[in-house]
Amino acid sequence: MTQLRSTTRNRKDYGDFQTPHGLVAEILDALERVGVRSPDRVLEPTCGRGHFLGELVHRTNPPREIVGFEIQADHAEVARSIESPDGLTTLDVQTADIFQVDLARDLRWQGEGSLLVVGNLPWVTTAALGASGGSNGPVRSNLKRLRGIDARTGDSNFDISEAIWLKLIRELSPQEPTMALLCKSAVARAVLQRIQADDLPVTRARLWKIETWRWFKAAVEACLLVVEVGPGPRATEAEVFDSLSDLEPGSTLGLIDHQLIADLDAYQSVAFADGRSSLVWRQGIKHDASPVMELTEGQDGRLFNKLGEVVDVEPDFVFPLLKGSDLGGIETDRPRRSVIVTQNRLGDDTETLESRAPRLWAYLVGHRSFFDRRKSSIYRGRSSFCLFGVGDYSFAPFKVAVSSLHKHARFRLVDSVEGRPTMLDDTCYFLPCRTREQAAILVEVLNGSVALGLIRSLAFSDAKRTVTKKLLQRIDLEAILDRKGQKALWHDEWAADWIRPPRSLTTR
């Protein structure tokens, strides 16, 4: 077991949110109401200053043994000062990194009996940890088995608490513990998916929502996830309680074929539409240089960038733009913004702009610093002024689009403007369409009760992106039309992976 020297790091490095005493009491009360009471042994994997430990030893029937691990020496020292008022509880607080502890080998108990794992896990991601130079984390590996592009575009980033959850379940499963741990709601969902994907021995799961702002002044959704580990049938659902005081669950989260269902009851009536879309949903253009790439038109017809500069570039490379925030607002005939598009397809060499569009080239070179500062690895090794999420589909004359950011999905028909196809930013997803008729049919289906009902049953309102490409690809449009008796509206050519735009747009 690795002992750490006393070091002082800031709250951000460790995702350090000490649990208020009042919240600790509410959590332990809620656990008692559902039958998790008077455990013989308690483990707190990241005990901080010992707020859970202090509350536990003062319960009516305190545990016989408590073991706590804490990576920060000053926190561990405070936790070690906690004493059992009647001497009935043995406390052992160790300064250690939980990732350096082999729980199956190094964890020693004086006796046997029921085991409760409880506490508040760090609220920090692997990306944030790496950016701050923190070292407390799991050995880096592709835990989610992602293909290369997904691993590079953010899906490989995960919370440290997710890794702690999986470590605890795997290493402690022979002791059949109950685990009740505070974590971000997104982490709880990721853990539940991983439990099923890896066939981990969890027989029951429940989730209590936490008033995060009230307790932590943090603008993130969090919950208490409680799982029971041991032999028996695997859990395929999780009861969701809207607050720690609720006696009955408000909804049930389902686990079906490694996928999460936000509301299992609402899902039943629309489950027939949960399948695979024949059409490929696309994400809008990503450039990460909005001060110079996004333009607005002044009253005199001139274009201005966000720096207030007049922009004079070849018009063939400027297109109308809608962002996710625009899709949720009032529809207008003309977008308020434009965007510079430097490529027809991903991988095009932007160096050719020097001869093809000299005014644009001079503008881009003059603002090169904005492109050089782009941090995402997707731009690494590519042309200086490249985009991401651009292809033939970007130039489709019609699109059916939805914002990923709004809590309630609403699909919009996006038209061209004066013969110029409208671009969407990377907070939008869309289906490219050849004709207005095709787009109108898709909008009607997607804004219907079945498609929207399916989205509501699958989507989590507290997620950073309520609507995702993965979710949209699950909407079986053919099945919906078939159920409505409108299958004849479907045309096989709609299932093309992309729609080739008019040649005049791609050749410029």
CATH number for 243: 3.40.50.150
> 268 in a domain, yes or no?
no
Closest by CA to 191, choosing from 143, 133, 151, is 143
- Phi, psi at residue 149, to the nearest 5°? -70, -35
Mean of pLDDT values over 73-98? 94
> 269 in a domain, yes or no?
no
At residue 333, the pLDDT reads: 64
**Structure token pair of residue 416:** 């061209």
At residue 164, the pLDDT reads: 96
Are 296 and 232 part of one and the same domain? no
11 vs 9: CA distance, rounded Å: 7
Are 345 and 223 part of one and the same domain? no
> 27 in a domain, yes or no?
yes
Are 219 and 303 part of one and the same domain? no
At residue 218, the pLDDT reads: 86
Are 57 and 87 part of one and the same domain? yes
Lowest mean pLDDT among 11-25, 288-302, 314-328, 342-356: 11-25
User: 232 — alpha (psi -120 to 50), left (phi > 0) or beta?
Assistant: left
Are 167 and 238 part of one and the same domain? yes
Last residue of a domain, one of 261, 294, 316: 261
At residue 493, the pLDDT reads: 52
> 272 in a domain, yes or no?
no
Are 352 and 471 part of one and the same domain? yes
477 vs 348: CA distance, rounded Å: 33
At residue 331, the pLDDT reads: 66
Are 130 and 252 part of one and the same domain? yes
Task: Quote the number of domains for the chain.
Answer: 2
Are 321 and 243 part of one and the same domain? no
**Which DSSP state fits 136?**
-
Instruction: State the distance between the two ends of the chain, measured CA to CA, in whole angstroms.
Output: 64
Are 332 and 249 part of one and the same domain? no
pLDDT at 179 exceeding the cut of 60: yes
Asked whether 446 and 273 are in contact (CB, 8 A), the reply is no
Mean of pLDDT values over 148-167? 67
**65 residue type, one letter:** E
Q: Where are the alpha helices (DSSP H) in 256-414?
A: 264-267, 290-293, 324-327, 353-356, 358-366, 368-372
Mean pLDDT taken over the chain: 87
Are 417 and 465 part of one and the same domain? yes
**Confidence band, pLDDT 50/70/90 cuts, at residue 135:** very low
Lowest mean pLDDT among 137-151, 184-198, 358-372: 137-151
Instruction: State which residues form the domain around 56.
Output: 11-261
> 161 in a domain, yes or no?
yes
pLDDT at 145 exceeding the cut of 80: no
Lowest mean pLDDT among 103-107, 140-144, 278-282, 336-340: 140-144
> 485 in a domain, yes or no?
yes
397 vs 394: CA distance, rounded Å: 9
> 247 in a domain, yes or no?
yes
CA 449 to chain centre: 26
Last residue of a domain, one of 230, 261, 292: 261
At residue 158, the pLDDT reads: 57
Closest by CA to 292, choosing from 349, 373, 356, 404, is 373
pTM above 0.75, yes or no: yes
373 vs 470: CA distance, rounded Å: 30
Last residue of a domain, one of 195, 227, 261: 261
Are 367 and 469 part of one and the same domain? yes
Are 377 and 438 part of one and the same domain? yes
Asked whether 398 and 439 are in contact (CB, 8 A), the reply is yes
Digit-coded pLDDT (tens) for 423-461: 999 999 999 998 899 899 999 999 999 999 999 999 998
At residue 7, the pLDDT reads: 37
Digit-coded pLDDT (tens) for 277-329: 989 999 999 999 999 999 999 988 899 999 999 999 999 999 999 999 899 76
> 400 in a domain, yes or no?
yes
Mean of pLDDT values over 361-367? 97
Q: Would you say how long the chain is, in residues? A: 508
